Structure 1
Amino acid sequence: MNLFSNTLLFKRVAIAVSFVIVTLILWNTYTFFQKFKTEERVKMEILAEAQKEIGSISDLNASVTLPLKVIENNNSIPMILVDEKGDILYTQNLDSIKSLNPSYIEKQLAIMRNQNEPITISYDGKNKQFIYYKDSDLLNKLTYYPIALILILILFLTVIYLFYSSNKAAETNRLWTGMAKETAHQIGTPLSSLLGWISILKMEKVDETYIDEIEKDVYRLNTIANRFSKIGSVPELKSENIISVTKQAFDYLESRSSKQISFSFKTDEKEIKTKLNKELFGWVIENLIKNAIDAMQGKGKLHLEISQTQKKVKIIVSDTGKGMPKKLFKQIFKPGFTTKKRGWGLGLSLSKRIVEDYHKGKIFVKKSELGKGTTFQILLDKI
């Protein structure tokens, strides 16, 4: 509980700090942007005064060096000088080639009118000229600066989150692996005792039918222990007849299920060889059959079919249960997801891991219809 509280507190603090950082970035950028924009306005007003001074000179011998230098030093802010009639007198810092096209000039003038108020040059209150200008490239790039910083911040937080999540997932996997192996170890002790008791029962000449059934269940417990012991480690795959492995798991559950469920097993082949770990693959078949039985609530039809193509072997498990909507087809394989009142939601996620990670195959919901049933399909490579 303490760990959970600390984790929750850390997340809240991280979110709050991120929000403060983003707010400061946006505010500082906005302030700097406005300051820079004001400075550009001042530069254009100085340029307007220089232009006015040149236009007001009546003495041909007067020096215009300073106002010309002011105008020439504007090499970053695009501008257009227009007279009272709207005729364009002069342009600066626009594309020299594109400026040959009048429509380009008109388009740039429209942009300038939208961006900034024009600066008026008045000659003795009579003739007027107007300087239109737009933001410099540097100012335009500055508008993208906060977006870039926010993206960097998001990337940084995403890396932290993924690192935290992967560590948490790895810790959870280690926990489940440890529990599974400990379970296998704990089952081993009573199993040894049961084997001893079976030997005693045989010597006491108890009904062989009872002993056979007990041996089947002991064998079953031994299989379960082997399955749990293999979790967390790479299992050994051997060339096996998938039909006999599947039929063994199928028969075991059929004999221990409600007689109101009609079981059917179909295949046209006697043998299909593929690389398998018998214990783990049998676990997959049992999980699918148990899910089908639960979906049918103890009454209905369960059909298992095995077929092959040139390169693949197909195992289909169908039931006449309650079915599911299409949106759950992938969700049901996620750890912890379950539609049952009881259950941990691990059966199908474990089956997916066994089939896809260990056996390099595929398992998926082939089809499902509410109130009519569900069909699962497994695809494995043939030898």
Structure 2
Amino acid sequence: MNFHPKQRTPKLILLVSAFVIVSLILWNTNIFFEKFKQEERLKMEVWSSAYSELSNAELDQELGTLPLTVMGNNTSTPMILVNLDSTIKTHNFPTGLENDSLYIAKKINQFSNENDPISISFKGEKLATLYYGNSEVLNKLKYYPIALLLIILLFGAVIFFFFKTNKASEQNKLWAGMAKETAHQIGTPLTSLLGWNELLKSENINPEITREIEKDIDRLQTITERFSKVGSVPELKVYDIVSETQKAFEYLKRRSSKLIHFSFDADTPQLPVPLNLPLYNWSIENLVKNGIDAMKGKGNIAIQIEKHGQYVHVLVSDTGHGIPKGDFQNIFNPGVTSKKRGWGLGLSLVKRIIEEYHNGKVKVLTSNKAGTVMQISLKTKA
């Protein structure tokens, strides 16, 4: 696989730019957080000074309103004041927890980890120790970078999903265009083959030969019709799913190795189901061919049709090597294949035909070393 540096450069620049922007935002947020934390400490030191003056003021001493104003203005920072006599005063604590000794002891330990305690003294004599925590604003600011990162990641995920969906849509249009062009290209030699076959009939050769050629020409016409329907909304008509499944099964049986044993069974002789016949037959053939590949050309292939209420189950079983349980869902993804030269499109097409076009379900019913059973579920005609 070749990589083109010119195609990768814009993506690389975008990735580096996003990383730089996020780094700058986090760096500036951290600086702002530390600065705000320093401002809070300065506020606590001013509060401590005001408390020291008020605690040691004489009764008749005029201090003015500044200390009282400073102490009264602090309504956001939680504080615990521990005096020398071990008495404790709390400020800005949740109602009902001011006298809870265990809660206060836990908070003293928490506040000591968040901020260095402030020693309050007056004229060199220690009066108390102030423990304070982060204010509500500071705590919210601490989680701001995380919220910002989550928003950026969410925004990035939305952009990624948009581009991925857009790319998938473009790829679907490309595949649909290629399929229609393939159908168109097959049409010309197919018309020529019809003419040559009619000419052979006039030459009085063995009629069995021309009949087999006609069958293969019909087969090519069916394939052309399938490809022409890719990308279009298929029309569903009511068919007997038992007889139509058996026809597709018998066609593969006649053109497969004699080492493979084919068996077909249905618990009801007729069962009307809305189908797009060319696409449904394509699904059956893909499942049968996958089973033959899994058995390496030797073993048993069986189809069983069962009716369960309003639904019909078409079971395609083989005696191949089985599928690991962890791959039961993955095998329906485009590109997933166990074959060296496979494209991994067969089961992906089956899933799309059955689930998107027929509103049914397809899944791995069971799988082990003895073989695999694939199940198609479709709603019967009411």
Category of TM-score, reference length = shorter chain? over 0.9
User: Which residue is 1:158 aligned to?
Assistant: 157
Letter in 1 for 2:172: N
Matched, 1:242 2:213: no
Question: Structure 2 regions of 5+ residues with no counterpart?
Answer: none
**Preserved contact between residue 116 and residue 133 of structure 1 (Cα < 8 Å):** yes
Deviations 1:54-90 (A, max 9, x none): 12222514234211111111122111221124321x3
Cα shift at 1:254: 0.5
CA distance in structure 1 between the partners assigned to 2:2 and 2:163 by the alignment: 17
Residue 232 of structure 2 is aligned to residue 225 of structure 1:
no
Once residues 217 and 332 of structure 2 are traced to their aligned partners in structure 1, the CA distance between those partners, rounded to angstroms, is: 30
Instruction: Name the counterpart of 1:369.
Output: 368
1:97 Cα deviation after fit:
3.6
State the 1:199 CA deviation. Answer: 1.6
Asked whether the equivalents of residues 291 and 317 of structure 2 are also in contact (C-alpha less than 8 Å), the reply is: yes
AA matched with 2:305: I
Task: Please tell me whether residue 86 in structure 1 is matched to residue 91 in structure 2.
Answer: no
Change (3 A) 1:120 1:275: same
Residue 181 of structure 1 is matched in structure 2 by 180
Q: In 1, are the aligned partners of 2:77 and 2:134 still within 8 Å (CA)?
A: yes
- Larger displacement relative to structure 2 (190-199 or 11-20): 11-20
Distance in 1 between residues matched to 2:126 and 2:5, nearest whole Å? 75
How far has the Cα of 1:289 moved from its partner?
A: 0.7
Q: Percent of aligned positions with the same letter in both sequences? A: 51
| Whole-angstrom CA distance in 1 between matches of 2:52 and 2:61 | 17
Q: Matches of 1:202 and 1:288 in 2, distance apart?
A: 36
- Kindly report the root-mean-square deviation, in angstroms, between the aligned alpha carbons of the 2 structures: 1.7
Aligned 8 A contact 2:119 2:126 in 1:
no
Is the CA contact 2:238–2:275 (under 8 Å) kept in the aligned structure 1?
yes
Q: Who is 1:53 aligned against? A: 53
Task: Please give the per-residue CA displacement for 1:319-351, whole angstroms capped at 9, x wherever unaligned.
Answer: 111112111111110011111011211111001
Q: Secondary structure at the match of 2:270?
A: coil
Q: Closer, same or farther in 2 for the Cα pair 1:124/1:63, shift >3 Å?
A: closer
Q: What displacement does 1:110 show?
A: 3.2
Q: Can you give the 5+ residue segments of structure 1 that lack an aligned partner in the other structure?
A: none
Query: Matches of 1:96 and 1:309 in 2, distance apart?
Result: 65
SS of the residue corresponding to residue 233 of structure 2 reads coil
Q: What does residue 72 of structure 1 align with? A: 72
**Mapped pair 1:382 → 2:376:** no
TM-score by length of 1: 0.95
CA deviation string 1:211-232 (max 9, x = no partner): 1000000000000000000000
SS of residue paired to 2:130: strand
The answer on whether the counterparts of 2:301 and 2:319 sit within 8 Å (CA) in structure 1 is yes
- Counterparts of 2:359 and 2:5 in 1: how far apart (Å)? 40
Aligned residue for 1:13? 13
Q: What SS does the aligned partner of 2:98 have? A: helix
The equivalent residue for 2:307 is: 308
Structure 1 position 293, deviation (Å): 0.8
The residue number in structure 1 matching 2:351 is 352
